[in-house]
Amino acid sequence: MNIFVTGTDTSIGKTIVSAWLCIHLNANYWKPVQSGSAAEATDSQIVKNLLSKNNKGVIPEKYIFKVPLSPHTAAIIEGKRICMNELHLPNTNNSRMIVEGAGGILTPLNDEATICDLMKQLNLPVILVARSSLGTINHTCLTLEALRNKNIPVLGVIMNGPKNESNKLAIEKYGRTCVLDELEMFDQLDHSSLKKRLPSQNLIGACNELSTIR
């Protein structure tokens, strides 16, 4: 069971959601492309720290760039190019993996390909991470529509931030999807806090169904 975690935007909470999913699904983590390794900890390093007590694998990035820019621009600055034929699911001894994208689904990887193309190439179902605050309905529904137009299967949405019942219901209605879970801010971000926050039955059900189908 492998899942691609994407978001409606950058800095939307994909990395924390990915770590949380890894803990509760006993999954490995892989971020194929990372931009911004010079300024702060990479997403892989953040996840590794959060999973340290869970003893699960974090797979090294295939491409990692120093500047915090769109991957295609970061690659150009460093005189490189992201080659899609080099991006394949790593072989591990774990049948479960969470793959985290970079930015939103139309973030460019090179002159021709976007994160959406990577999703199709890896042939993975998607969980969409969305903020819970004002503006999320439009951004989330636009992203869901784009994913459908690309024939990419969507398991559902995880909303990140203070619970907002009105936005949740609107996303489910107008986005024609299921909000699998709602993650509020953690008082302390560590392995213990993520482990204590159990996934909803909606999320468990979607993952169990995915395991059966795939």
Rounded-to-integer distance, Cα 118 and Cα 11, Å: 19
Q: In the prediction, which pLDDT does 187 show? A: 84
93-134 pLDDT, tens digit per residue, is 878 999 999 999 999 999 999 999 999 999 999 999 999 999
| Cα separations in angstroms, 12 against 31, 107, 118 | 15, 14, 19
Report whether 31 contacts 126 (CB < 8 A).
Answer: no
Q: In the prediction, which pLDDT does 40 show? A: 72
Percent of the chain surpassing pLDDT 70: 95
- For domain 2-213, which architecture applies? 3-Layer(aba) Sandwich (3.40)
Average pLDDT, the chain: 92
| Cα separations in angstroms, 190 against 75, 115, 122, 129 | 32, 28, 30, 20
Q: In the prediction, which pLDDT does 34 show? A: 93
Task: Tell me the backbone φ, ψ of residue 30, rounded to 5 degrees.
Answer: -145, 125
- Where exactly are the structural domains of the chain? 2-213
Let me know if 66 is a catalytic residue: no
Q: In the prediction, which pLDDT does 211 show? A: 67
Q: Does pLDDT of 147 surpass 90?
A: yes
Q: Dump strand ranges (E) for the chain.
A: 2-7, 28-30, 33-35, 58-59, 63-65, 97-100, 126-131, 154-160, 179-183
Q: Which residues contact 149 (CB under 8 A, 6 or more apart)?
A: none
Report whether 179 contacts 139 (CB < 8 A).
Answer: no
Q: In the prediction, which pLDDT does 7 show? A: 96
In this prediction, residue 213 has a pLDDT band, given cuts at 50, 70 and 90, of low
Strands 179-183 and 154-160: parallel
49-97 pLDDT, tens digit per residue, is 999 765 558 999 999 999 989 999 999 999 999 999 999 999 888 789 9
Q: In the prediction, which pLDDT does 207 show? A: 84
Rounded-to-integer distance, Cα 154 and Cα 127, Å: 6
Rounded-to-integer distance, Cα 63 and Cα 51, Å: 22
The single-letter code of the amino acid at 111 is D
CB burial of 156-178 (b: ≥16 within 10 Å; e: otherwise) equals bbbbbbeebeebbebbeeebebb
